[in-house]
Chains A and B, each alone.
Chain A
């Protein structure tokens, strides 16, 4: 029996390790569609980790989490994105990044190592049966998500960075705090969907009025912005 438990724990650690890999991928992947596929893979890994932890600790509640995740993130979110955001975003590739890819990957790596150190006091404070590699990897995903928001310029990778932050917080959460009521989980999932919907509408508006989906490049709002805009228009 304990061999089975050990296998489940190992599989869970594997899911968490691959989760970390997808987090790195979202920072570095140039193609927007590739980023989306990585996000779908990440959500499936989150669901797998939830299911494995549920099997290991006999918590039916975690199975519910897994099912909710499998339905909402890999299936509904891409569908919503296709409906609300303009179709051109899927053909985009980010050519000009803020940092080139190897540098960005190295910084993401440093953040992952940092988060392992940050996670140690947290792990020491909770009871042994709640410890899993989920917690440091969740913190790593959170930090890498924040980093993604600073480095990427295209709209959809920015959005995926945000959703990745939620995924990572969740990954840490399913191992630390297992008995959140299922209603709350459902509300989280709906919340994710609303985020995608609103962001999709915003991206469509940006594409229509500004002409580009590289929203990270919009940086004109500073003191005196309207003056400059008027001057530009008057020229």
Chain B
């Protein structure tokens, strides 16, 4: 019991510690693909350290929302990290505190506050980016729902650990059409929610074209560091949900000892690294979609997820 609490907190520490590393590795890989040298993979850590030591400037026109949001954006992914399988494939102490839909809502809470904060200042680019983020968000909602409903229908429960046990652990399930199609749909979803190409350019500095980056335009110093870190953690959490719940349970610890759990850390990181390779290939070979084409992209994700649902629910 105490052990489970410790493992849970270990999970959270892993998420907090390694989220910037994921961003650093992705950026480095993208640069390597473009035949450049690229920044060090630890650069995001240095950025965060630098930002924490800088002064913070807050606009006089903003309200408490502006000051409060970085904390919310930082805390919500941590909260979700308590609920999902990151290191172990058996439920931990806080696992039954919320299910996948609850986790989705908590992540959405963070996004909601980020949007409000972007509107809160008088910066013209903030609301522009905020409305676009909301558009992507509400188009992605049906996909989330259908994916969750399909896997919950099969597993008989909405708790991620149980879904992972029933859905993805039997190897025969790996090649079922529902599995492959759901993986495709959720991958498109990660691209949309994480603000990657083809939905949004994470490395772009052109404010008129920003979708996700615009929420942290006005922030500086500690607030900016918390927003950045929170965004990276959200991406990490989404990847964990994708890989551990939907793709394969490989690498997760099944033993109850601390050694097994510590061993799971490099294995899970290796799994995430493989996923990052795929992500980099996708990002380097596609170009950013025009804004109104995003509806088509997410429509295609929706169709894929519903096709998965059809092949699973209506199986002959």
Contacts and interface: CB of A to CB of B under 8 A. Distances in A.
Determine direct contact between A and B, CB below 8 Å.
yes
Interface of A: 3, 6-7, 10-11, 13-14, 16-18, 20-21, 24, 28, 101-102, 105-106, 108-109, 112-113, 116, 119, 123, 131-133, 135-136
Contact of B316 (A20, A108, A132): A132
Contact of A14 (B177, B300, B307, B314): B177
Contacts of A131: 316
Interface string B266-301: 000000000000000000000000000001100110
Contacts of A14: 175-177, 180
Contacts of B311: 13, 16-17, 20, 133
A11 B179 CA distance: 12
B316 A133 contact: yes
B310 A116 contact: yes
B175 A10 contact: yes
Nearest to B304: A21
3 tightest A-B CB contacts, nearest first: A17-B177, A102-B299, A116-B314
Contacts of B304: 21
**Chain A interface SS verdict (over half):** helix
10 contacts: A10-B176, A16-B177, A20-B307, A20-B311, A24-B307, A102-B296, A102-B299, A105-B303, A108-B303, A113-B310
A112 B300 contact: no
Contacts of B295: 102
A7 B176 CA distance: 9
Interface of B: 172, 175-178, 180-181, 184, 295-296, 299-300, 302-304, 306-308, 310-311, 314-316
A35 to B, nearest CB: 14
A12 to B, nearest CB: 10
Nearest to A6: B172
Contacts of B175: 7, 10-11, 14
A17 B185 CA distance: 13
Given A14-B176, A21-B307, 10 more contacts: A10-B175, A14-B180, A20-B310, A20-B311, A24-B307, A105-B299, A108-B303, A113-B314, A116-B314, A133-B311
B310 to A, nearest CB: 6
Contacts of B314: 113, 116, 136
Nearest to A104: B299
Contacts of B296: 28, 101-102
Contact of B180 (A6, A17, A24, A136): A17
A173 B172 CA distance: 26
B303 A18 contact: no
A13 B178 CA distance: 9
Nearest to A10: B175
B310 A28 contact: no
B212 to A, nearest CB: 22
A135 B316 CA distance: 9
B239 to A, nearest CB: 24
A28 B300 contact: yes
B299 A101 contact: yes
Nearest to A25: B300
A112 B314 CA distance: 11
Contacts of A112: 307, 310
A14 to B, nearest CB: 5
Contacts of A116: 310, 314
A14 B296 CA distance: 24
Nearest to B173: A10
A135 B311 CA distance: 12
Contacts of A135: 316
